[in-house]
Chain A
């Protein structure tokens, strides 16, 4: 179970978009973690309890967001421990960035009700309040029981267990050598152990890399429709949503603010945002504000549908548009080019034909020929979005080359490809239903992601230790810890499973 002594982090504001979000860090290392995360913005003598500044992604040395840091020293805080609150902007990317930086700096993702539990254990809540906490935790226990039951049936914990099994195999091998092998150490054992661990580590990294798309399954896919004015963005939105939500007109700039619609597609939640067109000549303040909001929406998008329609804009506007699309690609946000008004294509000159333009200027981006008059096109678009949710990449049209997997969907270390295909198939078969989306299990919770990440890092450390020539008893400690991390998801009793594994795999006993 979770310790009550480490430092936990979580957003205390509700999930979803909001103007301001507050992340709370509580525990003995809260100050140290903030030291790593937070840079005060001025050298002026700050009020000790409240500071403006910006947060850093550790190791990258790049700012994430301008924030305000508030500090409540133990015991004068909600939990009775050192508490630091980082108030940041409420965008998803920002929230995610700050939380994962905090986790990377040594915090643990807090479980539900954990702040209250700590407050209670540290005597910050009275008995009446304790009753309330009790109810909360009780409810949570029930939820956990249900979750555990779901996991027993398969889905995530099965996928994790397959990975954990690889680690168990390594640990069982180590333990067999330590408990049952009368010979002294052999070099070949070290080599086998190292290569088995490397395999396990890549499998874990791959699993961790499914987190983004997994989150999409849980929270919904943010699809932003963008493009220059009057290219048919709102028609696209209406077609997808099946009703005239956005006002459609021929006057450029009709959509001045962003328009949001939530809808479901094959059981998945989609948040559609229709943006104001990026006209660059407008001086209308409302329209300008719409453009700013469009930019914000783009930064938080999971997928951008960029509509290109004839007639293509003139050089200057075209340049702006290209700049924005390139920026999205650089940020790792997948872009699908919607080549609009396909029904008019036969009447277009080469210069005005979006298909030719896209092929020339954005040969690596997936495209879709679109006409709101063509029901086929709508079916295809929906298929593409579902594929994206399930597989994490945008499929390309048949006539384009395979490519099209955007950078962010690739495994972080590029190791996914190292996994043998046959094994991958097995993994997929193992994992069924639930969070899995038919083809592959996805990690949907930051907490699970953090556990898998830690396990992968520990596996990596064990590999290093083996290579450094450390003794097997020490390597075993690290591998066992990696498994313990995964057992937070699977709920396995590590030592029982291990003993089982040792006996099943090795002929032991004199």
Chain B
């Protein structure tokens, strides 16, 4: 790997640009990274292999969903871009899990794909600190273990002391459709070559993951009459705090989805052609995600299921392309065509893009710090699918944090690490970096230990102060945030002061709400804690109620009704934090600590956790090992103090 000085010695060497931070790849991770860094005042160069495909949504045409929707709101609270753009290009909104409890209520929106891309390009172009350049980056400039810049395929050199790599699924990518294997990125875009080799040379552990996407079909060829219609929610909700409670905000359109099911015919056809599936014939060796199985995978793993859901989703405002969620496949095209014929409503479907599987190179994320910097090369950050994650939201969150942390490191500030009790972003990054992943990693609410605290309704309360501290929250947003928080507190104390007398009227109202009469007078706040009661059915007992913004009301209601559970969860968090706050000294020699088992010793030595809490989550490190470390740390601490 050349250093900048070495590369400059070459004949016709051309230093084409300099910046504080270079971001390679303009997908969801790269765009957020570049924007965060630029908005924090750094000069940024953002490279993309083609300017016409940045911020692409090459798979599902939606943003949000369980855990992901919460995370989009977190990204927004910290000052990221995804939420705002999704609001702008939304063509359908649904709040998933509305009836299953506040912890899992998850916003999800269908997105106008090309609109989103254009929107992002516009945002990037409007940012004075960003230079957007179409250029393939094939190698890195490294001197004495620190990154110095990048080399483009044309040979041009670019200098920066911080480089964030966000190549998504493009590194050494291969697209597989049945027996056909070709070197390509998603959507027939060129793969990225060279960068993967550079990472291997640097000693980063790499592996190949596999994922896939279903076909796209012309809307006119679908018989939607035989399908079930799935409409948008009556009340759409924006992701971004900027649009919250804004009566003028609404989605671009309200396009429905259509639901159909596979049949016994589908199953039979797939079973007959299993030998032609690259998954089972051995052509695909990469590890695929379990949460996003191809249709042939589902048939093999769940032979008892007679039918599987298929969702047909609009991919944009002005396009007829429909995405067939549930029919992801890497079967040959002729088998794919046969499969579609067996699905009601798709018998005469016009395929616009076939389903395909894609294999790509990624890096074992345990080789990163929690700031997403590689441990091997100083100043080199990785974000997005290169770290083994999947999903636009997961990528955006990592990009945002890598961007922020690259800036902080430039300024000599400590990194900003969000922990598992603060945000899904923390769960995501800690899972990847501490535990690693053996398949493309998707965030799920079940991965969060403190799910009840990580809600979509309080994402702003959780992270706006941090975003403000980082420097990505504007004065006006900060003002609005403070006003909202004080409105919430005011309403809670008002509810506490309003007493409901025990009388015939209250008896009647409570009875109508399916509750039991009062024994004596109580305040509204405690009444609201009864499971069967809520803001709405207590309206008659609260005549003085002020006109509240819907978001304020939602927070008040959740805070009050789940107060007991939230308090218990908070206690668990306090215990968790105690371990997180016990930092491991950087130069700790695990081999010299007696009492740690061999396996744990190796893992600790390799991963070098920053805190005792992080150490406790490394697989292979037992509670007994942690006890030993705990005592060792205390001892170490005292010895240091004594000196």
B417 CB-CB contact with A under 8 Å = no
Q: Contact between A117 and B531 (Cβ–Cβ < 8 Å)?
A: no
Given contacts A1-B627, A503-B291, contact A179 B634 (CB under 8 A): no
Q: Contact between A184 and B597 (Cβ–Cβ < 8 Å)?
A: no
Q: Contact between A138 and B639 (Cβ–Cβ < 8 Å)?
A: no
A491 CB-CB contact with B under 8 Å = yes
Q: Contact between A471 and B100 (Cβ–Cβ < 8 Å)?
A: yes
Q: How far is the CA of A120 from the CA of B632 in the complex (A)?
A: 11
Min CB–CB distance A76 → chain B (angstroms): 21
A31 CB-CB contact with B under 8 Å = no
Chain A residue nearest to B635 in the complex (CB):
A130
Q: How far is the CA of A117 from the CA of B328 in the complex (A)?
A: 55
Q: How far is the CA of A49 from the CA of B631 in the complex (A)?
A: 31
Across the interface, B100 reaches (CB within 8 A) one of A473, A509, A510, namely A473
Q: Contact between B594 and A178 (Cβ–Cβ < 8 Å)?
A: no
Return the CB mask of B26-50 against A: 1 if under 8 Å, else 0: 0000000000000000000000000
Chain A residues lying within 8 Å of B447, measured Cβ to Cβ, are: 495, 499
Chain B residue nearest to A472 in the complex (CB):
B100
Return the CB mask of B552-576 against A: 1 if under 8 Å, else 0: 0000000000100100010000010
Q: Contact between B631 and A134 (Cβ–Cβ < 8 Å)?
A: yes
B199 CB-CB contact with A under 8 Å = no
B101 CB-CB contact with A under 8 Å = yes
Chain A residues lying within 8 Å of B326, measured Cβ to Cβ, are: 509-510
Min CB–CB distance B326 → chain A (angstroms): 5
Q: Contact between B565 and A477 (Cβ–Cβ < 8 Å)?
A: yes
- The interface stretch among A38-46, A140-148, A330-338 is A140-148
Query: How many positions in chain B have a CB within 8 Å of any CB in the partner chain?
Result: 64
Q: Contact between B446 and A508 (Cβ–Cβ < 8 Å)?
A: no
Return the CB mask of A116-129 against B: 1 if under 8 Å, else 0: 01001100000100
Q: Contact between A4 and B635 (Cβ–Cβ < 8 Å)?
A: no
Across the interface, A144 reaches (CB within 8 A) one of B328, B451, B624, namely B624
Chain B residue nearest to A139 in the complex (CB):
B595
Chain B residues lying within 8 Å of A496, measured Cβ to Cβ, are: 435, 619
Across the interface, B445 reaches (CB within 8 A) one of A3, A120, A179, A503, namely A179
Q: Contact between A474 and B627 (Cβ–Cβ < 8 Å)?
A: no
Across the interface, A117 reaches (CB within 8 A) one of B596, B625, B631, namely B631
Q: Contact between B444 and A499 (Cβ–Cβ < 8 Å)?
A: yes
Chain A residues lying within 8 Å of B639, measured Cβ to Cβ, are: 127
Return the CB mask of A452-486 against B: 1 if under 8 Å, else 0: 00000000000000001111111011000000000
Chain A residues lying within 8 Å of B569, measured Cβ to Cβ, are: 477
B464 CB-CB contact with A under 8 Å = no
Could you say which of A131, A498, A510 has the most chain B C-beta atoms within 10 Å of its C-beta?
A: A510
Could you say which of A185, A472, A477, A493 has the most chain B C-beta atoms within 10 Å of its C-beta?
A: A477
Could you say which of A134, A184, A469 has the most chain B C-beta atoms within 10 Å of its C-beta?
A: A134
B250 CB-CB contact with A under 8 Å = no
Chain B residues lying within 8 Å of A175, measured Cβ to Cβ, are: 444-446
- Considering the complex, which residues of chain A in the window 74-89 have a beta carbon less than 8 Å from any beta carbon of chain B? none
A443 CB-CB contact with B under 8 Å = no
Q: Contact between B531 and A469 (Cβ–Cβ < 8 Å)?
A: yes
B66 CB-CB contact with A under 8 Å = yes
Chain A residues lying within 8 Å of B595, measured Cβ to Cβ, are: 134, 137-138, 141-142
A182 CB-CB contact with B under 8 Å = yes
B638 CB-CB contact with A under 8 Å = yes
Q: Contact between A141 and B597 (Cβ–Cβ < 8 Å)?
A: yes
Q: Contact between A177 and B625 (Cβ–Cβ < 8 Å)?
A: no
Chain A residues lying within 8 Å of B325, measured Cβ to Cβ, are: 510
Q: Contact between A474 and B562 (Cβ–Cβ < 8 Å)?
A: yes
- Considering the complex, which residues of chain B in the window 574-597 have a beta carbon less than 8 Å from any beta carbon of chain A? 575, 578-579, 594-597
Chain B residues lying within 8 Å of A498, measured Cβ to Cβ, are: 446
B98 CB-CB contact with A under 8 Å = yes
- The interface stretch among B13-21, B302-310, B465-473 is B302-310
Q: Contact between B565 and A178 (Cβ–Cβ < 8 Å)?
A: no
Q: Contact between A178 and B97 (Cβ–Cβ < 8 Å)?
A: yes
Chain A residues lying within 8 Å of B100, measured Cβ to Cβ, are: 177-178, 184-185, 471-473
Q: Contact between B565 and A141 (Cβ–Cβ < 8 Å)?
A: no
Q: Contact between A127 and B638 (Cβ–Cβ < 8 Å)?
A: yes
Chain A residues lying within 8 Å of B630, measured Cβ to Cβ, are: 117, 121
Q: How far is the CA of A130 from the CA of B633 in the complex (A)?
A: 12
B293 CB-CB contact with A under 8 Å = yes
B158 CB-CB contact with A under 8 Å = no
Return the CB mask of B469-510 against A: 1 if under 8 Å, else 0: 000000000000000000000000000000000000000000
Across the interface, A130 reaches (CB within 8 A) one of B102, B103, B616, B631, namely B631
Q: Contact between A178 and B452 (Cβ–Cβ < 8 Å)?
A: no
Chain A residue nearest to B305 in the complex (CB):
A507
Min CB–CB distance B604 → chain A (angstroms): 14
Chain B residue nearest to A475 in the complex (CB):
B101
Chain B residues lying within 8 Å of A470, measured Cβ to Cβ, are: 531
Chain B residues lying within 8 Å of A346, measured Cβ to Cβ, are: none
Q: Contact between B291 and A508 (Cβ–Cβ < 8 Å)?
A: yes
Min CB–CB distance B354 → chain A (angstroms): 18
B378 CB-CB contact with A under 8 Å = no
Chain A residues lying within 8 Å of B579, measured Cβ to Cβ, are: 1
Q: How far is the CA of A474 from the CA of B563 in the complex (A)?
A: 12
Interchain pairs with CB closer than 8 A, number: 152
Chain A residues lying within 8 Å of B103, measured Cβ to Cβ, are: 473-474
Give the interface SS of chain A, mostly helix, strand, loop or mixed. Answer: helix
Q: How far is the CA of A185 from the CA of B104 in the complex (A)?
A: 12
Q: How far is the CA of A142 from the CA of B595 in the complex (A)?
A: 7
Q: How far is the CA of A350 from the CA of B328 in the complex (A)?
A: 86
Return the CB mask of B57-98 against A: 1 if under 8 Å, else 0: 000100000110000000000000000000000000000111
A421 CB-CB contact with B under 8 Å = no
Chain B residues lying within 8 Å of A144, measured Cβ to Cβ, are: 622-624
Q: How far is the CA of A468 from the CA of B530 in the complex (A)?
A: 11
Min CB–CB distance B280 → chain A (angstroms): 17
Chain B residues lying within 8 Å of A184, measured Cβ to Cβ, are: 97-100
Q: Contact between B290 and A495 (Cβ–Cβ < 8 Å)?
A: no
Chain A residues lying within 8 Å of B308, measured Cβ to Cβ, are: 507
Chain B residues lying within 8 Å of A362, measured Cβ to Cβ, are: none
Chain A residue nearest to B619 in the complex (CB):
A493
Return the CB mask of B607-643 against A: 1 if under 8 Å, else 0: 0000000001001001111111011101100110010
Q: Contact between B97 and A468 (Cβ–Cβ < 8 Å)?
A: no
Q: How far is the CA of A131 from the CA of B634 in the complex (A)?
A: 11
B10 CB-CB contact with A under 8 Å = no
Q: Contact between B634 and A137 (Cβ–Cβ < 8 Å)?
A: no
A180 CB-CB contact with B under 8 Å = yes
Chain B residues lying within 8 Å of A477, measured Cβ to Cβ, are: 451-452, 565, 569
Chain B residues lying within 8 Å of A469, measured Cβ to Cβ, are: 531-532
Return the CB mask of B417-459 against A: 1 if under 8 Å, else 0: 0000000000000000001000000001111010110000000
Chain B residues lying within 8 Å of A328, measured Cβ to Cβ, are: none
Q: How far is the CA of A472 from the CA of B445 in the complex (A)?
A: 13
Chain B residue nearest to A172 in the complex (CB):
B446
Across the interface, B578 reaches (CB within 8 A) one of A4, A120, A508, namely A4
B301 CB-CB contact with A under 8 Å = yes
Q: Contact between B101 and A473 (Cβ–Cβ < 8 Å)?
A: yes
Return the CB mask of A15-35 against B: 1 if under 8 Å, else 0: 000000000000000000000
B118 CB-CB contact with A under 8 Å = no
Chain B residues lying within 8 Å of A141, measured Cβ to Cβ, are: 595-597, 624-625, 627-628
Min CB–CB distance B548 → chain A (angstroms): 22
Subset of 7 A-B contacts with CB under 8 Å? A117-B631, A134-B594, A184-B100, A473-B100, A495-B447, A507-B298, A507-B301
Q: Known contacts A179-B67, A471-B99, A507-B305; can you find 19 more A-B pairs with CB under 8 A?
A: A1-B627, A117-B630, A130-B631, A140-B627, A141-B597, A179-B445, A180-B291, A468-B531, A471-B100, A472-B101, A477-B452, A477-B569, A502-B446, A503-B290, A507-B302, A508-B293, A509-B292, A509-B293, A509-B326
Give the B-binding residues of A (Cβ under 8 A).
1-5, 117, 120-121, 127, 130-131, 133-134, 137-138, 140-142, 144-145, 148, 175, 177-180, 182, 184-185, 468-474, 476-477, 491, 493, 495-496, 498-499, 502-503, 507-510
Question: Shortest 5 CB-CB distances between A and B: which pairs?
Answer: A471-B101, A473-B101, A138-B595, A473-B103, A510-B325
